[in-house]
Structure 1
Amino acid sequence: MRRFGEQVVAGQRYRLRPGAYAVLMRGDRFLLTHQAEPKPEFQLPGGGIDPGEGALTALNREVFEETGWSITGHRRLGAYRRFTYMPEYDRWAEKVCHIYLARPALRRGPPSEPGHTAFWMSGAEALAALSNSGDRHFMAKVLRNLG
């Protein structure tokens, strides 16, 4: 599995944290989430898969929490991993990120997760805004397939 991001810190123990994230496309626009804390950044909507939860269940829950939208038409694009410190959990994690392509179907309200704001962008804007190289890789893959 391809790895993106920070180098592994020698001697550091990492806790496995699987997650599900989506490139959300509607027409020629893409829906991202902006997370204000702990560091302001644009991300693909999604997040951790809780124990006993399936990837698509987690994806639907996380996208709704971070954007206020329900989604449909899930198609798996691939996965990547990254090793990082997660200050909001005070945890070093090996994140295994399962990436999907999906379509925002219905806006059900504002994001319910504190510190998150939903933003619609063009493909080029979204690619430039994403803060993590793994997310950018999958956004670029979707954009290449459109062209």
Structure 2
Amino acid sequence: MQSVRVGAYGVCIDEGRILLIRFAGGDPRWSLPGGGVDFGEHPVDGVVREVEEETGYAVRVGSLLGVRSHVWSSTATHQVSVLYEVHVVGGELRHEVGGSTEEAAWISVEALETLPHTDELRAGLDLFHQRPADGCCVKQP
């Protein structure tokens, strides 16, 4: 059965560091904080909620960076990711407990190439730096 999943993710860069999460369950990859948008929830509200759940930070959404579209053929899922630039406005860094992530950290953007990370993170960084007018990063047939 085919399904569509909409997610909202935050790109938060400050002084050469990026706010990231690492997945729980033995998955060593780093990614952007964010996740699935709840039914009826606006993606802006979803990214604010997800970043707080996964990192402890309250954030303000700056700009829409773009949309990533990807099909996971192994699960017949079409992932549509809405990526936003976000800014920390409160809270304290902490790790999520009992969720899909197990660590939150500020990591040097330069160090990313040496760390296992997701395609979502790469897309978010590309959108952050390139800021394409159409907001498109990865198209799939």
* TM-score, with length taken from structure 1: 0.74
Q: Percent identity?
A: 26
Deviating more after overlay: 64-73 vs 101-110: 101-110
1:106 and 2:106 matched: no
Aligned residues: 129
Aligned 8 A contact 2:31 2:120 in 1: no
Give 1:64's aligned residue.
Answer: 52
Aligned equivalents of 2:30, 2:125: Cα separation in 1: 13
Structure 1: 4+ residue segments shifted above 4 A: none
CA distance in 1, matches of 2:76, 2:119: 18
Q: Does 2:83 correspond to 1:84? A: no
Query: Could you give the per-residue CA deviations for residues 100-121 of structure 1, whole angstroms, max 9, x where no partner exists?
Result: 1111222346233424211111
Amino acid at match of 1:123: V
Q: Within 5 Å, which residues of 2 pair with 1:1-147? A: 13-37=1-25, 39-84=27-72, 92-108=76-92, 110-114=94-98, 115-126=101-112, 128-129=114-115, 131-143=117-129
CA distance in 2, matches of 1:15, 1:113: 28
TM-score between the two structures when normalised by the length of structure 2: 0.77
Task: Deviation per CA, 1:81-108: give whole Å up to 9, x if none.
Answer: 122279xxxx642110000111122234
8 Å contact kept, 2:59–2:87? yes
- Which structure 2 residue ranges, 5 or more long, are not aligned? 132-141
Letter of the 1:110 counterpart: R
Q: Which runs of 5+ in 1 are unaligned?
A: 1-12
Q: Give the residue type in structure 2 aligned to 1:97.
A: S
Q: CA RMSD in A?
A: 2.5
